[in-house]
Amino acid sequence: MDQHTPWQATYLRRREWVRTIIRGVALLIALLGSLGLYSFTGAVIGAAAGMSWMNILGTIGAPLTYFSVAFALGWFSTRLSRWIVPLPEPGCPRCGYSLKDLRSPICPECGLDLRPAPSDRSG
């Protein structure tokens, strides 16, 4: 199991909320598309009654568009949440120096010791 620093955990929680919101919007769009299926049913009945095919295709196109957008949002919700809430580059809390590819637990810019403080728990 991966251990995350507090700032990483905060960003990961934000991503989870954004992904949940995106999926909720996708569900709402799918529900709106399902309302269009009622008009599709009416179009099928209208076709039997001699309705033109252009009107039938128009009533089928709207629900399909809603379902396509909802499916795309649901499918790409994780990628979208990563794009909306990117993880920042790790930096020194004191001077902001980039800690990417750092080999020692000491900031080369300001000398801050970056090792986690020992916990007070004993047991």
Average pLDDT estimate for 23-31: 93
Of residues 104, 99, 80, the one with CA closest to residue 88: 99
Q: How confident is the model at residue 38 (pLDDT cuts 50, 70, 90)?
A: low
Region 104-122: mean pLDDT is 75
C-alpha distances (whole Å) from 10 to each of 5, 14, 15, 16, 95 are: 9, 6, 9, 10, 21
The top-scoring range by mean pLDDT among 32-41, 96-105, 112-121 is 96-105
pLDDT tier at 99, thresholds 50, 70, 90: confident
Average pLDDT over residues 103-122: 75
| pLDDT score of 123 | 46
What is the b/e burial string over 59-98, where b = at least 16 CB atoms within 10 angstroms of the residue's CB?
A: bbebbeebbebbeebbeebeebbeeebeeeebebeeeebe
